[in-house]
Amino acid sequence: MHDFGLSIWGDDNFVIKDGKVALNYANNPSLLELTDKVREKGYKGPLLLRFPHLIKKQLFNLFGAFDETIKEFNYQGKFYAVFPLKVNQYPNFIHSLMKASSGYGYGLEAGSKAELIIAMSETPLGAPITVNGFKDMEMIALCFIAAKMGHNITVTIEGLGELETIIEVNEQFNKSSHIPVAPRIGMRIRLHSSGIGIWAKSGGYGSKFGLTATELLEAYELLKEYRLLDQLSMIHFHIGSQMNEIAPLKKALREAGNIYADLKNRGAASLSAINIGGGLAVEYSQHSGAQERNYSLKEFANDVVYLMQEVAKSKGIAEPDIFTESGRFIAASHSVLIAPVLELFSQEYHEKALRPKESNPPLVQELFDLYRLINRTNAREYLHDALDHMESILTLFDLGYVDLEDRSNTEILVNLIIKKAIELLKNDDADELHRLQNRIQEKYLVNFSAFQSLPDFWGLAQNFPVMPLDRLDTKPTLPASIWDITCDSDGEIGFNPKLPLHLHDIDVEEEEYFLAFFLAGAYQEVLGMKHNLFTHPTEVVIDFDAKGNPQLNNLIAAQNLIDILDDLDYDTNTMGNSLKLKLEDSVLIKEEEKRELLGKLYLYLSENSYLKTIQAIKETNK
């Protein structure tokens, strides 16, 4: 059985059952069964399934790991966590998250005014809100309003200018109030130990964010002068996302711990928490030997608690509370993108497509013979001959000596010979064979947009695990590359011989074949772009009833064409009128046909921009 690396990236979230990938939860519904349920309602195109039980699992793991470690170490500080909204602000996700987290005192982190409004309305009073990123007067005023509502809100200052604004806003808000109320204040530090990987800019001296040692001291003096020192409660850092190793975090923890202790000993009596930001990584790899993370959650928790305890002991201060802002770790696994395969491009390379002539040119005839006679013993030699002949025949074509039919026969035969040779030689682990897979790779045209649904594949070459929904009891044989339906050649997940993906040989006119892309729940949705005007796919939340039966909730259909254009600020009424007039005035259409065409046009405008699969077309024609 081929598991598409499920044991590496799957985290026991899925199982393979009867050849289908199924949830390792409740009554183990297969993803295919869930997909069919949504499609029966008439939604074709790509589909985003959200699984709140997987959000709950991640929260349970995160809080569980820290609570356990805190007990083991007899650590005196508490553990808190917030979800950084920039990772996923979609309401269907956030509502599931807040529901799943009740009981944990879990809050939200905001990095902009719009996110702050989400945090203020969705976070239960008492649970923490943290506010990072660049802030103006209005944003800081919103933090004061939140504090006056009763929210436990901490505004992290990224520079001295922000602190000056806080001082000003505090005077405005608290001048005449009988109970002065202000948000808590955090200070983001600029680490000298730098961040890692592609996100290195999030940490380190070159970072866009945080206060230097000199600025920290100045901020401390300012807080004291304006009697806000009692609000200073948190030291914050964030070394970057998807930390693939633990070493940089340890360095940052020591550095931040010493800054915390220094300020505390200097007189910052209310300082009580260290916020370690996000960065906890997710394993996206489908191939052993290519793992993206060298530590476990338990190791992560152990290091954080141990190092904070060490610093506290050596500096003689109380052990600080620990805050995390892990986003990717909480959100990535909760959604699965499911997309129908529309076409296999090189399916024409079949014997039935050959056009043998009465008399083929000698080299082409030889290819026919090689194909007929190739066997285990001669495979390598015949393969080389075939590749050599192909070069010659293509040259002959350029010179006008052979025709299009000869060239077509050549392409098919060489493709078939390579496939046969690979099959015959599959037990020899030759480099050459790996390279040849490139030449016979099958291009799968898939009904989705990589730009919309997996933008980090395009922008950062991030791999996402992919597998078909069924046929998992059959060995997939075709080296596959995946093409999305945008008109952009970057919308291709190419075949990589080092991290090979094989898919099944199927006839899409006869049978449906769906691909699932996993771990798409963090960052992808909101970074997704409307290249070619393909918008967010149809989404649905999968909850379970008491008997373990799946329920499809909060379905949101992909935008229809009119809404897409309206979003771009087209005047869709004017557009509609223009289309209608053009049809009515056209001399190319018979009068009685006009009404029917207009009806069709309106129907199409009410649908989304994704393609309908061939199956869908067959069904509507029934």
Ligand X SMILES: *Cc1c(COP(=O)(O)O)cnc(C)c1O
Q: How many CB atoms lie within 10 A of CB 401?
A: 11
The residue among 101 and 326 lying less far from ligand X, judged by its C-beta, is 326
* Site track 39-78 with ligand X (rule: CB under 6 A), x = hit: ----------------------------------------
- C-alpha span between 214 and 218 (Å, rounded): 6
Find the binder of ligand X among 140, 280, 467, 542 (CB under 6 A). 280
The candidate with the shortest Cα–Cα distance to 323, out of 55, 56, 125, 63, is 63
Residues 311-350 touching ligand X, rule: CB under 6 A, are: 325-329
Minimum distance from residue 280 beta carbon to ligand X (Å): 6
Minimum distance from residue 127 beta carbon to ligand X (Å): 17
Stretch that binds ligand X, among 45-53, 275-283, 299-307, 440-448 (CB under 6 A): 275-283
Contact 53, 25 (CB under 8 A): yes
Stretch that binds ligand X, among 172-180, 211-219, 274-282, 512-520 (CB under 6 A): 274-282
- C-alpha span between 447 and 456 (Å, rounded): 18
Residues paired with 492 in a beta bridge? 483
In the numeric block, which tokens belong to residue 451?
Answer: 């730009």
Stretch that binds ligand X, among 22-30, 83-91, 293-301, 460-468 (CB under 6 A): 83-91
The residue among 119 and 515 lying less far from ligand X, judged by its C-beta, is 119
- Does 420 interact with ligand X (rule: CB under 6 A)? no
Measured CA distances, 89 to 100, 133, 332 (Å): 16, 16, 13
- Does 241 interact with ligand X (rule: CB under 6 A)? yes
The residue among 236 and 420 lying less far from ligand X, judged by its C-beta, is 236
CA dihedral 38, 44, 48, 53 (to 10 degrees): 10
Minimum distance from residue 551 beta carbon to ligand X (Å): 29
Three-state secondary-structure class, residue 366:
helix
Total residues at interface with ligand X (CB under 6 A): 16
Minimum distance from residue 354 beta carbon to ligand X (Å): 53
The candidate with the shortest Cα–Cα distance to 160, out of 110, 119, 215, 105, is 215
Contact 455, 528 (CB under 8 A): yes
Sign of the four-CA dihedral 534, 495, 33, 521 = negative
Q: At what angle do helices 160-174 and 137-149 cross, to 10 degrees?
A: 50
- Does 203 interact with ligand X (rule: CB under 6 A)? no
The candidate with the shortest Cα–Cα distance to 466, out of 477, 486, 482, is 482
The residue among 197 and 476 lying less far from ligand X, judged by its C-beta, is 197
Minimum distance from residue 61 beta carbon to ligand X (Å): 14
Cβ within 8 Å of residue 216, ≥6 positions away: 187, 189, 259, 263
The candidate with the shortest Cα–Cα distance to 558, out of 611, 620, 485, 492, is 611
- C-alpha span between 241 and 398 (Å, rounded): 52
In the numeric block, which tokens belong to residue 541?
Answer: 């939340």
Minimum distance from residue 238 beta carbon to ligand X (Å): 4
Find the binder of ligand X among 5, 46, 107, 277 (CB under 6 A). 277
Minimum distance from residue 82 beta carbon to ligand X (Å): 9
Minimum distance from residue 293 beta carbon to ligand X (Å): 12
Find the binder of ligand X among 86, 190, 334, 420 (CB under 6 A). 86
Minimum distance from residue 87 beta carbon to ligand X (Å): 5
- Does 132 interact with ligand X (rule: CB under 6 A)? yes
The residue among 291 and 365 lying less far from ligand X, judged by its C-beta, is 291
In the numeric block, which tokens belong to residue 323?
Answer: 């805050």
- Does 521 interact with ligand X (rule: CB under 6 A)? no
The residue among 122 and 442 lying less far from ligand X, judged by its C-beta, is 122
- C-alpha span between 238 and 200 (Å, rounded): 10
Binding stretches for ligand X (CB under 6 A): 84, 86-87, 132, 238, 241-242, 277-280, 325-329
